[in-house]
Structure 1
C-alpha cells in the first residue's frame, strides 16, 4: 500500500517544527514527508539585525535543515501555486524548472513578506529586513555610505549619505535602528574626515507608542535608550514619498537621505492568494485545529494563517511571531499524526511566554513571564532565549562565539561587495512577483499531471 504523502510548504519556524515532530512521532512506513523550501536552512529571523550590524555572521542565523531533519525529502524550490482540487502544489525549483508535487495532506507554512503601501518611490528605494540577503546587503550599503561620504567634497552628498531612516517601531525596526546605530558610531572613529555629529539615525512609526506590546514602562525605557544614543524617534509619523536622495515624511519634513529601511509590518505570503479560500486580513482563515475548512487535507499555520488565539478569546487571532509559529508547528504535527491514525484533532492553545528586545551591547528590554527587565539582566534573558530556540548545536555555539568575539574584540567594518551592482528592491529579495494566478495554477497543475 502506498504511503500517504505529507507536503510541507515553507522551512521557517512553523514548517521546520512540524517536520521535526512528524519524524519523531511517525514511523517511516506511516507517511512520506516532503518539505518545499528555496533554501537549505531555517532563517532565525529575530537575529537579522545582528547580521546587518556585523555582530553575527550570516551562517550563524542559517539553521541547517539537513542537520535538523533526518528523513524528510527536501524539494529545493518555492511553491508558486496550490490546486487543492487536484491535490497538487506547483513548485518552481531553484533551477526555474516547474514541477507538480502531489500530496494527501498539505501543510501551508509559507510565512510572510514585507508589508508595503502605495507610497511613491517606496518599491524602488526601500530596503527590507526580512531575508538573509537583505540583512547582508544593508550592512554593505551602510558601510558604503560612510566610505562614499568620506571620499566626497560635496556637503549635500555627505548629508544625504549620512542620514538613515528606519520605518517601523516594532521589534524588527527598533532592533535594526539600535544595532546599526551602534555600528556607525563605532565605525566613524575610523573615518578621520567624517564628523560623527553628521551621522543621524531616524526611527519613525505611525503608531503613538514604541513597541506597545512591551507595555508603557518598558516601551518608554527602550525609547529613552535610543534617544540617549542620538537616535531621533518620531511617533505618529510615516513616509509620504521616497526619492533616490530624499525622504519626505507625513509631517512635512524632507530629509536628505539615501537609506530607507522598511520594517512596517508583514503580510501573508502571496501564495495564499492562489487559493480560493476565506482570509482574515490576508491570512488564511483556519479552525483552532489549523484546518482550512474549504479543502480536505489542507492545514495552514504561522504568519500565513489566522489561527484563533484561544488564550485571548473574543475572536482574536495569534500574532505573526516566531514563538507562536514554532508551537503551532508542533501542535499541527500532532494533529496530522492523529488524522493518520483516525484520532480526534486538538486545538492550538498557547499563552505568550514573554518578549525580548535586544538593543545591542549591554542594552535590552525584556518581559519574560510578565517580569519587566532592562539592562544586562534583560540582555542575558534575550540572548539566552535566542540560543535555546536554535535547533542545532553548531548554530548555538557559532552564535555564542560571535557575541563573545564582538564583545571582546569589537566591530569590523568590512564591505564585502555583496550585490553591489544590483538593485535592492523588495520584490527582488522577497520574490513577491513569482506567483501564479488561480487560473494559471489550475492550467499548470493539469499540464504537469498530464506529463506524469
Structure 2
C-alpha cells in the first residue's frame, strides 16, 4: 500500500464486514482509504438478540458503535442496491432516501443474509423473522402486549390464544428464542393479576427435522430438548406449518393452534444484492475462490453468508453460514485485499469449526467447545464467557445486565416503537424497519 492511496469499500458491517474493516485499518495505517457502507451505525452482535427479545438485555448492549470501534474507517450510512462492476461503483440509498454512489479500487462484499421464505400460505403476512434489531424489539413488545391483553381478556379462548407462542425452526435461533421466551412470559404472567390463576403461557417449537439442533451433536440436542421440555415448551419434531392465519397456525398433522404469535426461524438466504450482480452463484451465494476473490474480478472479494467459500477442510463443500466462519473470513479477506495492494502475501481461507454454543437461558446451555459436549451450568458459564470475549465492545454493560437480571425481576413494558407492519418477513433488509411511504427495508 505504498502507491497512490487506494479506496477499499466494504459493503456490510456484520461479523465478516466488521472484522475485515478492523483488520484492514490495522494493516493500512492510513495508507489506504477504508470505507464501510452500512444501513446503520452499529455492529449487531446477533447471538445475543434472543436476550434482547426476552427483556434480559437492553438493545444498546448488543449494538457496538462502528465509528467508536473502527477509528481508521470512514462510515457511510446507506443500503447498497446495486454495483456497477465495470465502472467500479457501488450505488446506495441513505437513511433520508437520498441516492449516492461510491467509487472503489477494491470492493469487499459482506452483505450477509436475510430471512428464508417458504411457500406456506399466510406465513409472509402473519409471521415475523428474527434477523435484526427491529424484529427483536418488535417481538419483545409483542410478547409483552399479548400477555397484558390476555390478562384483561374475559374470554378464556382469547386468553389462551394470546398466551400461545409458536416458533418455527429448531435450529440455533429458534431454540434460543423459545428457551428465553418461555422464561420471559412466565415472569410476566406471574406479575399479571389476570393470569396468576392460569393458564400458563404456552410455547410451541416446530421443526421438520427429527430432533432439535439437527446440525449439533446428538447429545447436545437431547440436552437442549430436555431443558425446553422441563420448562413446558411443546417441542414438535417431524412437523411443519401448513398454513398461517391471523387466528393461529395449521400444522401438517391437521391440528390448528390458536395463536397471535408466529416467529419464523427456519433459516436464512443470501442478501438479494448478490443476485443483482450477474455473477456466478451457488445456491444464491456468490462464488469465490479459496482466497475469497471473485473469479474474473480481481478487484472484488466476498465473504460471510453472501459468499460460497470453498471449505478446504471438506473438499467439494462450502463453509456453512455461521458467525464463526464469517468473522474469520473477514480477517482473511482483509489480508488478501492488502496483498492485492502490495502488502503481504495471499492466504487461502481454511478453518475447522471450534464447536458451537446454544444459550438456553437462566444458567442452562448446550455447548461443544473443541467438540467436547457439555450441558448445564458449566456450559452456561462457558457460553456467556465466550460471548463476552467475542463481543468487540459493551462487555461491562452486558455483564452488568446479566448480574442484575439474576437478582431483579424483569421489566415488562410495551413501548410500541416498532409496529408489525414495520418488520415484514419478506424483506431484503431485516436490519432496517420499514417506514411510511415505502422508505428503506426494500420489502
Indicate the TM-score class for this superposition, using the shorter chain for normalisation.
over 0.9
- Helix, strand or coil at the partner of 1:123: helix
The 3 A distance-change label for structure 1 pair 104 and 390 is same
Q: How many Å apart are 1:297 and its aligned residue?
A: 0.6
Aligned residues of 2:45 and 2:62 also touching (Cα < 8 A): yes
The 3 A distance-change label for structure 1 pair 200 and 347 is same
The match for 1:397 is 396
Alignment of 1:48-447 (within 5 A): 48-194=49-195, 195-313=197-315, 315-341=316-342, 344-392=345-393, 395-420=394-419, 422-427=421-426, 430=430
Q: How many Å apart are 1:421 and its aligned residue?
A: 7.2
Aligned residues of 1:55 and 1:403 also touching (Cα < 8 A): yes
Aligned residues of 2:134 and 2:423 also touching (Cα < 8 A): no
RMSD, aligned α-carbons: 1.7
Aligned residues of 1:40 and 1:66 also touching (Cα < 8 A): yes
The match for 1:450 is none
Aligned residues of 1:8 and 1:15 also touching (Cα < 8 A): yes
Q: How many Å apart are 1:403 and its aligned residue?
A: 0.4
Alpha-carbon distance between aligned partners in 1 of 2:199 and 2:155, rounded to the nearest angstrom: 17
Aligned residues of 1:80 and 1:435 also touching (Cα < 8 A): no
Q: Which runs of 5+ in 1 are unaligned?
A: 437-452
Q: Bigger shift: 424-433 or 403-412?
A: 424-433
Q: How many Å apart are 1:196 and its aligned residue?
A: 3.5
Alpha-carbon distance between aligned partners in 2 of 1:156 and 1:176, rounded to the nearest angstrom: 25
Alpha-carbon distance between aligned partners in 2 of 1:266 and 1:426, rounded to the nearest angstrom: 11
Q: Which runs of 5+ in 2 are unaligned?
A: none
TM-score (norm 2): 0.94
Aligned residues of 1:362 and 1:375 also touching (Cα < 8 A): yes
Alpha-carbon distance between aligned partners in 2 of 1:340 and 1:373, rounded to the nearest angstrom: 45
Q: How many Å apart are 1:124 and its aligned residue?
A: 1.3
Q: How many Å apart are 1:344 and its aligned residue?
A: 4.2
Alpha-carbon distance between aligned partners in 2 of 1:272 and 1:176, rounded to the nearest angstrom: 29
The 3 A distance-change label for structure 1 pair 18 and 423 is closer
1:142-200, Cα deviation, whole Å (9 max, x unpaired): 11001111111122221221111001111000000000100011111112222433421
Alpha-carbon distance between aligned partners in 2 of 1:310 and 1:208, rounded to the nearest angstrom: 29
Aligned residues of 2:11 and 2:37 also touching (Cα < 8 A): yes
Q: Bigger shift: 226-235 or 155-164?
A: 155-164
Alpha-carbon distance between aligned partners in 1 of 2:420 and 2:26, rounded to the nearest angstrom: 45
1:326-361, Cα deviation, whole Å (9 max, x unpaired): 110111111111111175421101111111111000
Aligned residues of 2:106 and 2:300 also touching (Cα < 8 A): yes
The match for 1:444 is none
Within the alignment, does 1:8 sit opposite 2:7 as a pair? no
Q: Bigger shift: 343-352 or 92-101?
A: 343-352
Aligned residues of 1:81 and 1:435 also touching (Cα < 8 A): no
- Count of paired positions: 432
1:83-127, Cα deviation, whole Å (9 max, x unpaired): 111111111111111111111110000010010111111111111
Aligned residues of 1:238 and 1:250 also touching (Cα < 8 A): yes
Q: How many Å apart are 1:377 and its aligned residue?
A: 0.5
Aligned residues of 2:16 and 2:330 also touching (Cα < 8 A): yes
Aligned residues of 2:247 and 2:260 also touching (Cα < 8 A): yes
Alpha-carbon distance between aligned partners in 2 of 1:72 and 1:154, rounded to the nearest angstrom: 57
Aligned residues of 2:213 and 2:221 also touching (Cα < 8 A): yes
Alpha-carbon distance between aligned partners in 1 of 2:397 and 2:344, rounded to the nearest angstrom: 42
Alpha-carbon distance between aligned partners in 1 of 2:275 and 2:307, rounded to the nearest angstrom: 12
1:225-268, Cα deviation, whole Å (9 max, x unpaired): 10111100011111111111111111211110110000100000
Alpha-carbon distance between aligned partners in 2 of 1:350 and 1:141, rounded to the nearest angstrom: 40
TM-score (norm 1): 0.92
The 3 A distance-change label for structure 1 pair 421 and 287 is closer
- Helix, strand or coil at the partner of 1:381: helix
The match for 1:446 is none
Alpha-carbon distance between aligned partners in 1 of 2:126 and 2:226, rounded to the nearest angstrom: 29
Alpha-carbon distance between aligned partners in 2 of 1:16 and 1:198, rounded to the nearest angstrom: 42
